[in-house]
């Protein structure tokens, strides 16, 4: 009698990696013969940190990124934990080509068995979304847990500088302590994913210019909704966006090494403004089957079977 594949998942409670891992787990359970368990699993899938893999289980570690900021005093200690997870794993999944190259150079190692798999999004979640109603011709959306590396001030400055008639900007997520008085800039605070999807569906374009990310869920979600993404030229976001948006040269070219990140908000935000003007002039037709959760989950399962020595 055939028995299901028993998988134990380990990840943090918050942040982008945990959001994706929960989505992946739900999809695998729904569409594959998977049993999620912490008792005698066949396979142990961890993200960011290694946790405590049970004896007898094959281990796969999903690498989000590594610590590159030389100003972070805990950088070496935290990177040592990531290195240990990679060394001990039977297989490693990197989020993007950027993630692989950065970890290889900064950590000084690469896994013997690895694969690069971009995050995916279950498009069925888009089907019944009721679009956010607004009275503007153009609606720009940005979504993050806002802190300096995500560049919220630069996004809002760029929007005001762009001076696009009949437009508004929605800033989704907590962390903006002093929202601007401009009525065209809507700061939602922390909201549910279902509520955020309403803004994505209504968006003209999505902006994501975080200083250094491997495979941001925001960009994947935006493209799943068929929306162009304005992104920066650093990190893995541009790799995800490809031709389905505007890549803005506001950062140094990636050298895949550590550097001191002094002030991520210190950029030429006029270039973001210009990208916003550019994106509204074009008709976009975006379809990204490569970022569907069905594609992502299939690649995860293929790698799991490889690690488990199954055909």
d(Cα 236, Cα 299) in Å, to the nearest integer? 19
d(Cα 23, Cα 9) in Å, to the nearest integer? 12
- In 3D space, the residue among 224, 214, 170 whose CA is nearest the CA of residue 196 turns out to be 170
d(Cα 114, Cα 166) in Å, to the nearest integer? 48
Cite the DSSP H helix spans in the chain.
Answer: 16-31, 75-88, 97-107, 152-162, 193-202, 217-224, 237-241, 270-279, 293-307
pLDDT of residue 15: 84
Overall residue count recorded for the chain in this entry: 311
Residue 261 shares a structural domain with residue 300: no
Residue 40 shares a structural domain with residue 54: yes
Q: Around 149, how many Cα atoms within 13 Å sit in the side-chain half-sphere?
A: 11
Residue 286 shares a structural domain with residue 222: yes
How would residue 263 be classed by pLDDT, with cut points 50, 70 and 90?
very high
Residue 137 shares a structural domain with residue 286: yes
Residue 175 shares a structural domain with residue 215: yes
pLDDT of residue 310: 62
pLDDT of residue 125: 84
How would residue 12 be classed by pLDDT, with cut points 50, 70 and 90?
confident
Question: Which pLDDT tens digit goes with each residue over 236-255?
Answer: 999 999 999 999 999 999 99
Structural domains in the chain (count): 2
Residue 105 shares a structural domain with residue 149: no
pTM of the model: 0.94
Question: Which pLDDT tens digit goes with each residue over 32-64?
Answer: 999 999 999 999 999 989 999 999 999 999 998
Question: In the 8-state DSSP scheme, what is residue 60?
Answer: E
* Contact predicate 59/44, CB 8 Å: yes
* Contact predicate 16/217, CB 8 Å: yes
Helix (H, G, I), strand (E, B) or coil at 144: coil
Residue 19 shares a structural domain with residue 105: yes
In order of 152, 175, 237, 266, 267, the CA distances from 148 in angstroms are: 7, 10, 17, 10, 12
Report whether pLDDT(234) > 80.
Answer: yes
Residue 277 shares a structural domain with residue 231: yes
Bridging pattern class, strands 58-63 and 245-248: unpaired
pLDDT of residue 29: 97
CATH number for the domain spanning 214: value is 3.40.50.2000
- Joined together, the tokens standing for residue 181 give 């008085």
Residue 106 shares a structural domain with residue 196: no
- Joined together, the tokens standing for residue 152 give 């919220």
Element (H, E) at 140: strand 138-143
d(Cα 299, Cα 199) in Å, to the nearest integer? 30
> Structural domain of residue 15, as residue ranges?
5-120+292-307
pLDDT of residue 186: 97
Question: Which pLDDT tens digit goes with each residue over 189-228?
Answer: 999 999 999 999 999 999 999 998 999 999 999 999 999 9
pLDDT of residue 66: 94
Residue 281 shares a structural domain with residue 300: no
pLDDT of residue 6: 97
Residue 146 shares a structural domain with residue 277: yes
* Contact predicate 226/289, CB 8 Å: no
Mean pLDDT of 120-136: 92
Residue 84 shares a structural domain with residue 133: no
């Amino acid at each position: 009698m055939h028995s299901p594949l028993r998988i134990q998942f380990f990840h943090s409670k918050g942040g982008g990696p945990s959001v994706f891992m929960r989505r992946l787990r739900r999809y695998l359970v729904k569409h594959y013969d998977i049993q999620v368990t912490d008792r005698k699993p066949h396979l142990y899938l961890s993200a960011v940190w290694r946790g405590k893999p049970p004896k007898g289980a094959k281990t796969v570690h999903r690498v989000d990124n590594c610590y590159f900021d030389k100003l972070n005093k805990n950088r070496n200690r935290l990177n040592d934990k990531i290195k240990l997870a990679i060394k001990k794993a039977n297989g490693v999944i990197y989020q993007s080509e950027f993630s692989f190259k950065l970890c290889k150079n900064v950590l000084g190692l690469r896994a013997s068995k690895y694969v690069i798999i971009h995050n995916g999004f279950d498009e069925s979640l888009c089907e019944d979304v009721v679009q956010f109603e607004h009275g503007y011709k153009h609606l720009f959306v940005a979504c993050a847990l806002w802190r300096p590396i995500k560049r919220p001030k630069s996004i809002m400055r760029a929007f005001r500088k762009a001076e696009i008639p009949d437009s508004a900007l929605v800033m989704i997520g907590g962390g903006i302590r002093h929202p601007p008085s401009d009525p065209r800039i809507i700061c939602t605070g922390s909201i549910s994913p279902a509520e955020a999807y309403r803004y994505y569906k209504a968006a003209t374009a999505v902006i994501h210019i975080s200083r250094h990310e491997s495979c941001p869920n925001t960009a994947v979600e935006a493209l799943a909704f068929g929306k162009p993404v304005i992104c920066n030229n650093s990190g893995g976001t541009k790799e995800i966006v490809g031709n389905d948006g505007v890549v803005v040269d506001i950062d140094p070219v990636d050298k895949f090494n550590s550097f001191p990140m002094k002030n991520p908000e210190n950029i030429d935000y006029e270039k973001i403004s210009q990208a916003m003007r550019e994106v509204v002039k074009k008709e976009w037709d975006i379809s990204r089957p490569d970022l569907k959760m069905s594609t992502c989950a299939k690649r995860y399962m293929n790698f799991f079977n490889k690690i488990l020595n199954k055909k």
